Amino acid sequence: MQNLIKFIIKREFYIVVFSIPSLIVGWLGINRPYFSNPDQDFLWVSQSIRLFKGLGPSYADHPGAYWPVSFLIKFFILSRSSAIQFIDQYGAVPIEVIDKIIYFSRIENTLITASLPLIFFFLLKQLEVDKKTIILSTYILCLSSANLNLVSDIRHENIGMFFMFLYLLLTCKELNKIKNNNFINLNSTIITLFFYASIFCKQQILLLYPLIFLFIIFFIKIKKLDYYRQINKIIIRKNISTLLVLFFLSGIPWIIISSEEFNKFGAVYIVNLPFWSFINAGLIFSMIISAKEKINKFVFLKYLFFLSMIQILVFEILAPNVWRRSITAFPSFLFPFSSLSDGNINLLIHAKDFIISIKEYSISLSWPGNFVFLIILLLKICFIIRFLVLIKNKKNFSLLDYSFFSLLILFVILSFRQQSFYQIYFFTPILVLLSLGNAKNYFKKNNLKEKFLVINFLSLTTSILLFTFSIKSTINIFNLNKFVSAPQSQELLCDYQTLDYSLKNTPVGSCDSFERESNKKNKFNSWW
């Protein structure tokens, strides 16, 4: 028996335990009425049928590419196994078919969410974090509201993070290999497809890219210190002009795939260029680093060419126009859907919203929430002072500094439109940073007096945050029912976005404006 336990621990089969909370929440909510979430479940039925007909999507969940395709595949499988037609001559789907498809999709969504802590476990392992810290952080994530809020509703935040986790994990695996001797590192190029799969699920994941790139740099520093130092030497004053040129050249793929928008919206559309230059430059550097190639202009341009080919394939050939545009129009696309759209640019009001959002997230993710809220504010003040001192003394920033300020910017942007589903975007990088910080084992090296000195403030807060997060996650064990999504208002049944001919046999078909709104969907008939 003892040998069996050692084998399980060594092979890490025990990590399946971390999927159990999500599986329980999924099981508790599996039999909700098929129309309980018209804002989500119904939408994927109608959008998948549009894809089957060769029509472009009439609704894009920023852009929400995964579930329409998944629903369509299940429609085909069900029709083959049951020998039935899943749509009639008018394009309407039988209620019993919709019920089955949503049921199976809820199982699929539960499994996707349950897998997030498992992949997270292996990501921390790649960073050589202490085993106990890995287990604690994974435990916190699997029982956190950030994770469990994603189980019941068939949305794209969890599947987007799933693909992004896979992108990071496969990139780390590639970085671990010996130097690539081929002209191009095909593996790293193919791995970027998981990045595109992620952002086609949810465009907001693009906001995470600074932290995603920093994760890769953290990994290089831990695993390949000599190569990390070579990269560091490139960022010097005499190379700035070359780096700026390469940076803006990275925007060429975005310009190519956005030619239609330039014609439609004019030169103002170029406001998104710096953002996409940064995204593409980061992807190119990640591919170069994966191949362990020397970073120079020729190598950069070589990978820029291959990245351009991939983006043309993904955006221009494979993706419907409405999905492509919701990605390439980012980040300006965010503004109409944020609190900034009301025209109120009062900084005091938005600062208040920012503080309120941090407080609410603290209460949702930790206990006692108000105590953690105070710690987070102190951390922000601490890092802002540190930031100003580094600028004044003209010193270099650490990876921790960059990571913290990326998180700060992410918090600010998400405060413009607070959603419980968005917790996963910032909670996972927080847990990664806390795990890295705790790996230094300050408390083991210092005596009791030194532990409470200012110099060890970060190590102290790291342990406190992990402790308070773990308390809240433990409390959630006894309240798993609250994470089963409540039925949405029946008024949403007659919301214009759900009114589509494919749903004619459901309660949606009895809405007063069904015929009128369904006819309006004809304007979305073009795939491109």
Distance CA 270, CA 268 (A): 5
Whether the pLDDT of residue 448 is over 50: the answer is no
Whether the pLDDT of residue 339 is over 60: the answer is no
Give the three-state DSSP class for 486.
coil
Whether the pLDDT of residue 212 is over 80: the answer is yes
With a pLDDT cut of 90, the percent of the chain lying above it is: 27
pLDDT in tens, 258-309: 888 777 777 777 888 889 999 999 999 888 888 777 778 888 888 899 899 9
Per-residue pLDDT, 455: 47
Q: Specify the higher pLDDT residue, 430 or 442.
A: 430
pLDDT band at 452 (very low <50, low <70, confident <90, very high): very low
Per-residue pLDDT, 449: 47
Per-residue pLDDT, 181: 64
DSSP E strands in 76-204: the ranges are none
pLDDT (mean) for 409-437: 87
Whether the pLDDT of residue 332 is over 80: the answer is no
Whether the pLDDT of residue 498 is over 70: the answer is yes
Per-residue pLDDT, 225: 81
Contact 124, 138 (CB under 8 A): yes
Where helices occur in 83-208 by DSSP H, the ranges are: 95-126, 131-142, 145-148, 157-175, 186-201
Query: Six-digit token pair at 313?
Result: 């394939």
DSSP of 328-365 = HTTTGGGGGGSGGGGS---HHHHHHHHHHHHHHHHHHH
The mean-pLDDT minimum among 31-40, 400-409, 420-429 falls in: 31-40
Peptide linkage before 21 cis (omega within 30 of 0): no
Contact 114, 148 (CB under 8 A): no
The mean-pLDDT minimum among 10-14, 98-102, 337-341, 359-363 falls in: 337-341
Per-residue pLDDT, 186: 76
Distance CA 301, CA 288 (A): 11
Give the three-state DSSP class for 36.
coil
pLDDT in tens, 150-208: 998 899 999 999 999 999 999 988 887 776 666 677 788 888 899 999 999 998 899 99
Element (H, E) at 445: helix 442-445
Q: What is the CA radius of gyration of the chain?
A: 24
Query: Six-digit token pair at 167?
Result: 């992108």
Per-residue pLDDT, 230: 78
